[in-house]
Structure 1
Amino acid sequence: MRFVLGFLAALWAAGAAFAADEASAPITIVIHGGAGALAPGRYTPEEEAAYKAKLGEALDAGYAVLEEGGAALDAIEAAIVTMEDSPLFNAGKGAVFTRDGKNELDTSIMDGRTLNAGAAAGVTTVKNPIKLARAIMENSEHVMFARDGADKFAKEQGLDLVKPEYFRTERRWNAYKKALKAEKEAAKDGKGAALPHPFKYGTVGAVALDADGNLAAGTSTGGMMMKRYGRVGDSPIIGAGTFADNKSCAVSATGWGEYFIRLTIARDICAQVEYAGKTVEEAADDVIHHRLPDLGGDGGVIVLGPDGSYVMSFNTKGMFRGVKNADTQMVAIYGETEATEE
């Protein structure tokens, strides 16, 4: 009798442990720091090391939240804030300049559990725009605020505000002056004032899966260098630059925003997963390697599924990116196969 009871107790314990394992999702965070003309040789070894170190820091910040049982929303916010605070990326501190020589920031966030979302466009005084996106999502009845209204709401919410010059870095200012000179020379030669292609890129983003099985996505950017007249890209637009739904996947995008808007890139990927039964890799590759270039655009996405599957897909020469889960920590800059295990 004792043997039978002992056996049943052991069987129950094993079953309980299995159920607990089944109930806990494979916590994962994936990040990107922008896609574009990132061919090997563009950066010095020291610059590459700096980028990879900051990507690793962002991954660690987000994953630490997940390890402690925190929510996916908190994890992506922690990761994105790390990149917003760095002058290396086109977001927050390292934002590019508009044609008028200003920094205008765009951002969005989405909760895959509730489908709630928040976004802001044209922000000029908010230190960490991703925090504003979350405040809009959680503390207002709206999804998106723009320009002066967004800055005003941030002040009402008690977020950290800075003077516009906080966002200026010499690297971005010099690039702006170079672009402005190129535009003037092109106009003088009768070639129009078309924006040089390399200036169309730059964004940071994160997607995460927490232990409760909830997904979240967020994106933050300084937008397109030399953008005009209050231009808004895909980053603050839910369904274009950001999307998350526990039923399908979480997506954050980076690239030529006009095309991501026209193709509703982020939502399309999740729709293919939900309705066509595709894997996140199949859906992302269809959009990024076929639909997007067929229209004339380029860029990349990070995508994370509710089972922990993920993909970092891009059709440019490179994309700052990284992933961390229980088995892997990886950061990379260039082609699809190049990676650095941490």
Structure 2
Amino acid sequence: MRTAVMAVLMVGAVIGGGPGMMRSDAVLASPTKAPSGEHKWAVVLHGGAGVIERKSMSAETDAAYRAALKASLQAAADVLERGGTSMDAVEAAIKLMEDNPMFNAGKGAVFTADGKNELDAAVMDGATMNAGAVAGVTRTRHPISLARAVMEKSPHVMLMGEGADKFSASVELEQEEPSYFFTERRWQGLVRQLKKENLPIPPRPQGVPPAPAGGMAEIEPPDAHKYGTVGVVALDRNGDVAAGTSTGGTQAKRWGRVGDSPIIGAGTYASNQSCAVSATGTGEYFIRLTVARTICSLVQYKGMKLQDAADQVVHKDLVAIHGDGGVIAITPDGQLAWSFNTPGMYRARMSEGGKIEVGIYSDER
């Protein structure tokens, strides 16, 4: 009876409890680490959600994205198969996507209205509930590694801008000139959008190649990465989950805008008591709903299956406030889920001993 009463109090505390209800932090006891060897590893990743439709994607581009998703998934799987941690797997997969110009993260990130690449990232360790995040990074090659360094090598959770890059250099992470992140494809996308919005076009960044004669052909729909982000959630053989997210944000963003990706609880969250989540979409809505944490709360306090919790938030709660995008998620007991309300989401998943599953469009389940 006492257990049932405590469960009710926990639900009330996290899902909108009123005065006199137990505070949410009072029920978040330290997660207990499962004995080694009792779990099978698993990993889920995404490469962004948006207007990604089969009719608008060439066969070559489709194949290239599937190959990139498989390669990143395999990088995480290799770490986990060797007995590595979920955090190591998350970082390995995201670093690969940050180096791949096809994704809106790291090299290949979209541009701000001022013609800059400003990068955000976050990680969270479900075993300890430690977290690290960065926003507005311009010189760190792998923002996901910087987010992890903030978690492990600083007393803080979130750093931003020039200070974050200075910290990055101080812990000897790989640095690049801002021109490293430039891709012609993203630059031309910015120019088209600014013209459409009657906004001034900034000077072409210093140190980049001259514009190609005749422009550049689109390899996918213009809105395919409108909400582009990359993210990974993983479960290791110790039963520990972790989540990581990295993004260039939204194309032509202004005024130092920051989305949900680096905000713990909104775009990134992990706890061994519930699940790990990485999100992609219109960040302003994900922030308002604290999407990642809400999904985990439904699992932890309402006892919902992971897929049902993800669908509840993505297809009902987000839609109700006109938000769009998607999530990937994983639980310590090995449940895997993805859910999105856009025409497509680049995604892949794999469990130990199983096959790689890859999807792009909404009709692939």
Q: What TM-score do you get using the length of structure 2 for normalisation?
A: 0.83
Bigger shift: residues 176-185 or 226-235: 176-185
SS at match of 2:198: helix
Take 1:104 and 1:249, find their aligned partners in 2: how far apart are those partners? Answer: 29
> Which residue is equivalent to 1:214?
240
SS at match of 1:323: strand
- In the TM superposition, residue 119 of structure 1 has moved relative to its aligned partner by 0.1
Taking the aligned partners of 2:340 and 2:118, their CA distance within structure 1 comes to 25
Aligned-partner SS, 1:231: coil
Q: Provide structure 1 residue ranges, at least 5 long, that are not aligned to the other structure.
A: 1-19, 186-195
Distance in 2 separating the partners of 1:87 and 1:224: 16
Question: Which structure is larger by alpha-carbon Rg, 1 or 2?
Answer: 1
SS of 1:178 mapped into structure 2: helix
> Of the candidates 38, 46, 51, which is equivalent to residue 24 of structure 1?
38
**5+ residue gaps in structure 2?**
1-33, 200-221
- Aligned residue for 1:335? 362
Whole-angstrom distance in 2 between the partners of 1:40 and 1:154:
40
5 Å-filtered alignment, 1:1-80, equals: 23-80=37-94
Mapped partners of 1:139, 1:336: distance in 2? 43
Secondary structure of the 2:334 match is coil
Is 2:309 the counterpart of 1:295? no
Q: Map 1:103-252; keep pairs closer than 5 Å.
A: 103-184=117-198, 200-252=226-278
Q: Which amino acid aligns with 2:173?
A: L
SS of equivalent residue, structure 2 residue 280? strand
Q: Quote the offset at 1:294 in angstroms.
A: 0.4
Q: Aligned equivalents of 1:303 and 1:121: distance in 2?
A: 23
Match of residue 111 from structure 2: 97
Q: Deviations over 1:22-61 (max 9, x none)?
A: 9421200100000010011222100111110010000000
Contact 2:42/2:350, CA 8 A, preserved across alignment? yes
What is the distance in 2 between the residues matched to 1:118 and 1:231? 19
| Counterpart in the other structure of 1:324 | 350
CA distance in 2, matches of 1:22, 1:156: 35
Whole-angstrom CA distance in 2 between matches of 1:248 and 1:303? 10
Secondary structure of 1:220's partner?
A: strand
Give, in angstroms, the shift of residue 337 of structure 1.
2.6
State the AA in 1 paired with 2:38. Answer: S
Residues 49, 224 of structure 2: 8 Å contact kept: no
Give CA-to-partner distance per residue, 1:139-168, whole Å, 9 cap, x none: 000000000110010000100000001111
Count of matched residue positions in the alignment of Structure 1 and Structure 2: 310
| Higher mean displacement: 272-281 or 327-336 | 327-336
Q: Give the structure with the higher percent helix.
A: 1
Distance 2:133 2:184 in 1: 28
Secondary structure, counterpart of 1:278 in structure 2 = coil
Q: Residue 22 and residue 104 in structure 1: after superposition, are their counterparts in 2 closer, same or farther (change >3 A)?
A: closer
User: Matched residues in 1 for 2:173 and 2:110: separation?
Assistant: 22
Matches of 1:328 and 1:122, distance apart in 2? 37
Q: 1:22 to 1:158 in 2, by over 3 A?
A: closer
Kindly provide the amino acid, as one letter, of the partner of residue 140 in structure 1. S
Partners of 1:257 and 1:284 lie apart in 2 by: 16
Structure 1 residue 307 and structure 2 residue 321: aligned?
A: no
Q: Distance in 2 between matches of 1:199 and 1:213?
A: 33
Task: For residues 193-237 of structure 1, give each alpha carbon's deviation from its aligned partner in whole angstroms, at most 9, with x where no partner exists.
Answer: xxx977641000000000000000000000010100110000000
Q: Quick one: percent identity of the two aligned structures?
A: 56
> Deviation at 1:243?
0.2
3-state SS of the aligned residue for 2:164?
helix
Query: Tell me, what secondary structure is at the counterpart of 2:123?
Result: strand
Moved over 6 A (4+): 196-199
Residue type at the aligned position of 2:269: F
Q: For residue 339 of structure 2, give the secondary structure of its aligned residue in structure 1.
A: strand
Given that residues 120 and 134 in structure 2 are in contact (C-alpha distance below 8 angstroms), is that contact kept between their aligned partners in structure 1? Answer: yes
Q: TM-score, normalised by structure 1?
A: 0.88
* Letter in structure 1 aligned against 2:323: G
> Which residue in the other structure is 1:281 paired with?
307
CA deviations on 1:297-316 (whole Å, 9 max, x unpaired) are 10000010111111110000
Structure 1's 102 and 22: CA in aligned 2 closer, same or farther, altered over 3 A? closer
SS at match of 2:134: strand
Q: Which amino acid aligns with 1:337?
A: E
Aligned residue type for 1:328: K
Kept in 1: contact 2:50–2:223 (CA 8 A): no
Give 1:292's aligned amino acid. L
